[in-house]
Amino acid sequence: DSGILFNATMLRCMLENNIYEIPRFDLSFNDFRQVQGGELLEELQECYDRYGRDETIVITRSNKRANRYNEGIRRHNLSAEEEIESGDMLMVVKNNYHYAEQDKDSPMAFVANGDVVRLKRIRRFEEFYGFRFIDATLQFPDYDDYEMQAKVLLDTLMSESPSLSRDESNKLFMEVEKDYMDITIKSKRYKAIRENPHFNAMQIKFAYAVTCHKAQGGQWKAVFVDRCLFGDEEMSKDMLRWLYTAITRATERVYLVNFDERFFE
């Protein structure tokens, strides 16, 4: 029997019948567990050892909380010493058409928002146009570990926004445009800008912890679901839908992290 299926079905029934109460999860199944904060890093390490980094994920409510999780996981579980390192798991946070189109052997038409990649190699760091970049070799686990050479933007890595903000994107565009002001025909100048590798750099975040929005469409063997209610916050239709989406990202195990006793029978 599957606790993931049982508890997900319970959430779906509540949504279909407009019952917006705190659900009571059944923990009698081996694949559905409750985890307190002090146990989290140890349980994460067990899943990294059992399933691998690319099959384990933490799902949380905000980019701010995801950043905190990513920082702690990289420091304590992965012993990372640099801002970003070869072997890091990353998630693309904005659709990117440039590099797939440049690579004739690419198995994908474009690199999609939400794609998880492994940073296989960093060739160099650089600061350009007021932003920070790396030239990198990216490996795509979902495409038989296909490798792609790309420029990667570091400014989104620990940002609290989902990707570059509108103001940041406009700033990058205007800085790049300065290199093409000798092209007097505006349509040709814009075409040159859109082919610029820095302007088309992959926007990424760490993929050890992500928001539920970024996790949609993906599946992992082990999913750690961060607490969803804080203080006196009430359960709502959107929060039930959030829980259902988070739980159904898992194929083998779900861990509910720091959920209070109101959620358990």
3-state secondary structure the chain: CCHHHHHHHHHHHHHHCCCCCCCCECCCCCCEEEECHHHHHHHHHHHHHHHCHHHEEEEECCHHHHHHHHHHHHHHHCCCCCCCCCCCEEEECCCECHHHHHCCCCCCCCECCCCEEEEEEEEEEEEECCEEEEEEEEEEHHHCCEEEEEEEECCCCCCCCCCCCHHHHHHHHHHHHHHHCCCCCHHHHHHHHHCCCCCCCEEEEECCEEEHHHHCCCCEEEEEEECCCCCCCCCCHHHHHHHHHHHCCEEEEEEEECCCHHHEC
Give the model's confidence band at 183: pLDDT under 50 very low, under 70 low, under 90 confident, else very high: very high
Give the model's confidence band at 232: pLDDT under 50 very low, under 70 low, under 90 confident, else very high: confident
Q: Is the pLDDT of residue 90 over 70?
A: yes
Amino acid at 167: D
Residues 148-174 have pLDDT tens digits of 999 999 999 999 999 999 999 999 999
pLDDT value, residue 104: 85
Q: What is the pTM of this model?
A: 0.90
Residues 92-145 have pLDDT tens digits of 999 999 999 988 889 999 999 999 999 999 999 999 999 999 999 999 998 999
